[in-house]
Structure 1
Amino acid sequence: MAAADRAGQVTLRIATCRCGALTATCTGEPVRISVCHCLECQKRSGSAFAVQARWPLDQVELSGAFHEWVRTGTSGKPATFRFCPTCGATVTFVSASMPDLTAVPVGAFADPTFPPPRFSVFETRMHPWTGVTGEDVEHWN
């Protein structure tokens, strides 16, 4: 759900878990929106890829109970995932590869008008029937 005032007020976007007990309120526009095709993001999302938006840490407020799980990525750097203890949905995560940013899965916003991704990463793991299009998208293997 996105809310923006035409008078120039700051945009607020609210992401929730599936049961609604855990929310992330994101202030302002995301600084990065990306699609990841790595196998771990596929497992996390339950899809052939994952889409996430990132904000500076101080622009994301998490409300509600959550559990944390830390996983070391292929880069050797850890990522901390925060998820709902009731429904299990991941609502935010922070990676040591981008330590000043909080990532929020775009699906948690349940907003079909959310801005499109500008980055597509781990494309060597991309399913051949998928693709991220757009003239402004950077493609990384």
Structure 2
Amino acid sequence: MATCCCGALSMATIGEPIKISACHCRSCQKRTGSAFSVAVFFDRENARPRGPSEMFTRLGDSGLPVDFHFCPSCASTLFWYPKFRPAWVGVAIGCFDDHAFVPTQAVYEHERLEWAQIQLRSN
């Protein structure tokens, strides 16, 4: 189970993730207010959101939109739907109660902050 800071918005997931990806792009840095973002991607059929959410849409590098859902009360971004992978949902790793997930890939490393290092799990 993943939840926002205040608990009003949650995402229940079933099964194993498709992949776990750390992103160093500037857009993710700005969205999170941190050095990177980590997404745990699930098949959309295996994820059930509950509670109210607001949405922010931005274009990804694919040219297709990504719909980010955040809690209207605490503003935590909990999940997003990338249109270039319509069957997937990304869930913010820090929102999970279970901290067993470890990134298996890093993307946009050319935009990585020099000091930000991530240890990836090999497949």
> How far is the alpha carbon of 1:68 from its aligned partner?
1.5
State the number of aligned residues. 123
* Structure of higher RCO (CA pairs closer than 8 Å, 6+ residues apart): 2
State the 4+ residue runs in structure 1 displaced beyond 4 angstroms. none
> How far is the alpha carbon of 1:125 from its aligned partner?
0.3
Aligned equivalents of 1:81 and 1:135: distance in 2?
26
**Could you say which residue in structure 2 is the equivalent of 1:63?**
50
Q: Which amino acid aligns with 2:80?
A: F
Q: CA RMSD in A?
A: 1.4
Unaligned runs of 5+ in 1: 1-13
Tell me: CA distance 1:82–1:133, structure 2 relative to 1, closer, same or farther (3 Å). same
- What is the DSSP-based 3-state SS (H/G/I as helix, E as strand, rest coil) of the residue aligned with 1:133? coil
Aligned equivalents of 2:18 and 2:120: distance in 1?
18
Sequence identity, in percent? 37
**Could you say which residue in structure 1 is the equivalent of 2:3?**
16
Unaligned runs of 5+ in 2: none
**Could you say which residue in structure 2 is the equivalent of 1:26?**
13
- What is the DSSP-based 3-state SS (H/G/I as helix, E as strand, rest coil) of the residue aligned with 2:29? helix
Structure label with greater radius of gyration: 1
Post-superposition Cα deviations, 1:99-128, rounded to whole Å, max 9, x if no partner, equal 21000000011433x221111000000011
